[in-house]
Amino acid sequence: MPAIDYLRISLIDRCNFRCQYCMPEGADLAYALQQDWLTRAELRHLLRDVFIPLGFTRFRLTGGEPLLRPDIVEIVQDITALPATQDLAITTNAFLLAKRAQALWDAGLRRINISLDSLDPDTFGKIIGRPSVALWHQVWAGIQTAHQIGFSPLKLNVVVIPGVNDGEVLDLAALTRDRDWHVRFIEFMPIGNGDLFASQGWVASEILRQQIRDRWGLEAGSVRGNGPADVFKIPGAQGTVGFISQMSECFCDRCNRMRLSADGWLRPCLLNETGQINLRALLRDDVPMEALRDRVSELVFAKPEINFKMRESGTTGAYSRTMSQIGG
C-alpha cells in the first residue's frame, strides 16, 4: 500500500454544467448551504495543523466546479504558501478558466486537469446538459489560455460514454501528437446515474487502447501526477494518452488519497463512507487540534481496509450521492 499523502479537496458541490454522468436528469441534488462550506481559514487551519503533520503534501482542488468558489485564488495562495506543499492541482470544466487562469498562475498554481468529453460542440452540449455551441468554444478558449500561460502538465479528462462520444477516441488522442497535452480516457462509472449506466454501459480501456495502437502504435509514457492512470504515448507525440480503468481493473491497492468534501466530511474512498469524519463540526466545536489529528490518523490507518471492493461485495450500505457531491 502506498503512503497516504494526497488529499482531494472539494471546494463547492455546485456546478454550472449538468453532465450526464455527474448530475443526471432527475437526480436529487441537495446542495450544502454556503455557511456549511469549510471557510478559507478553516481549510488553511486543517491543512497546516492536521493534514501536513500527518504527512499529506499533495493536494487537488475539485468541485462541483471549483472556479465557482469566490475565494478560489486566495485558497490557492494559501496552499502554495505552505512550505510542506509539494504539489497542488485543480480539476475544472474550464468554463471560467480564460478569465481566471492568469490569477491562478500568479497565485502559484501550475497544474490543471480539464474535463473535455467531446470535440464536437453539439455532442458536448448534450453531455453537459446545456445545448450551446458557444459553451464549447468558451471551454476551448479556457484550454488555450491555460496552455499559453504555461500550465504543465495540462491534462484533458474524457469520460467515455458508449454511443455518445466513444467514436471520438482517435480524434481526442490526436490532440497529444503536436501539443504537450495529456488526454486521459476514463471508464464511465455508475455513480448516481444508474438508469443511464444501465442503458449505455461502459467501454473497457483496453478496447480504447487497442484503437489507438492500431492507428498509430503505442509506447510507454509518463507524466507528472498523483492519479491511477496507465500512461502511454503515440510514437513521436509531445503529450501522452492515459487510461483510468476503475471499472475493468480495481486499483484500490494503489490508492494514496483521502477526500474532503465542501461541507467538511473526510472520507477514505470515492465509493465508501465507512468511518467518515465531520471535520467542520469538530472544528466549530473547538475540538483541540491534537484530537483532530488523532481522528484523521485513525481513518488514514484504516484506509487499506476501506475500498471500492467493499461496495462491489455489498459490505457497505446504499450509496446516493452524485459525482458532483463527491468531489470527482
pLDDT along the chain (328 residues), means of 10: 90 87 65 89 98 98 96 98 98 97 98 97 91 92 98 95 93 97 87 54 83 97 86 97 81 84 91 86 96 96 67 45 54
Domain contains 237: yes
CB 99 within 8 A of CB 88: no
Which pLDDT belongs to residue 193?
52
Whole-number Å distance between alpha carbons of 76 and 238: 28
Residue 149 lies in a domain: yes
- What is the crossing angle of helices 133-149 and 121-128, to 10°? 100
Predicted model pTM: 0.90
Neighbours of 148 (CB within 10 A): 10
pLDDT tens string 277-297: 999 999 999 999 999 999 999
The domain tally of the chain equals 1
Helix (H) or strand (E) holding 308: helix 308-313
Sorted by sequence, the CB contacts under 8 Å of residue 224 that are 6+ apart come out as 111, 153
Name the residue range of residue 39's domain: 6-326
Is 103 inside a domain boundary? Answer: yes
| Secondary structure element (H or E) that encloses residue 132, with its range | none
Domain containing 132 — which CATH number?
3.20.20.70
Query: Three-class SS of residue 238?
Result: coil
pLDDT at 310: 46
Query: Does residue 119 sit within a domain?
Result: yes
CA 257 to chain centre: 12
Q: What is the pLDDT of residue 122?
A: 95
CA distance linking residue 145 with residue 142, whole number of Å: 5
**Measured distance CA(164)–CA(204) in Å, rounded:** 15
Residue 1 lies in a domain: no
* Alpha-carbon Rg for the chain in angstroms: 19
Q: Is residue 108 part of a domain?
A: yes
Residue 182 in any domain: the answer is yes
List, in sequence order, every beta strand (DSSP E) within 161-298. Answer: 181-187, 219-220, 230-233, 240-244, 257-260, 265-267, 277-278
Q: Which helix (H) or strand (E) holds 195?
A: helix 194-200
What pLDDT does residue 278 have? 97
